[in-house]
Amino acid sequence: MYVNAEKILPPHLLRQVQRYVQGAEIYVPKEPDSRVPWGENSGSRMQIARRNEDIVRRFRQGESIAALMERYHLGYDSIRKIVQPHRK
């Protein structure tokens, strides 16, 4: 989200920022404590975890890696990494 620094920063702080950058857009990252792990807000992390559980279940039931590759549109190495800890 773009915000004009002039509208949110006190004048003394704006002058300090202008000493380093003028007329350019800069990214101000969140504080480390307020960052959310990847996929937490969007639900992607949960979807991938469910998909991987499904892959492991199907693998345990005898579905081949090739069939899993086709079903989930993943490469051999990706499927192998998901099922490797669960191999007999």
Average of pLDDT values for 66-86?
Answer: 94
Q: What is the pLDDT of residues 11-20, one digit of tens each?
A: 999 999 999 9
Buried b (16+ CB within 10 A) or exposed e, 41-80: eeeeeeeeeeebeebeebbeeeeeeeebbeebebeeeebe
Q: What is the pLDDT of residues 8-63, one digit of tens each?
A: 999 999 999 999 998 888 888 888 877 777 777 788 889 999 999 999 999 999 99
Locate tokens 């990706």: which residue?
78
Locate tokens 């051999």: which residue?
76
CA 75 to mean position of chain CA atoms: 20
**What's the chain's average pLDDT?**
90
Structure tokens at 22: 């003028």
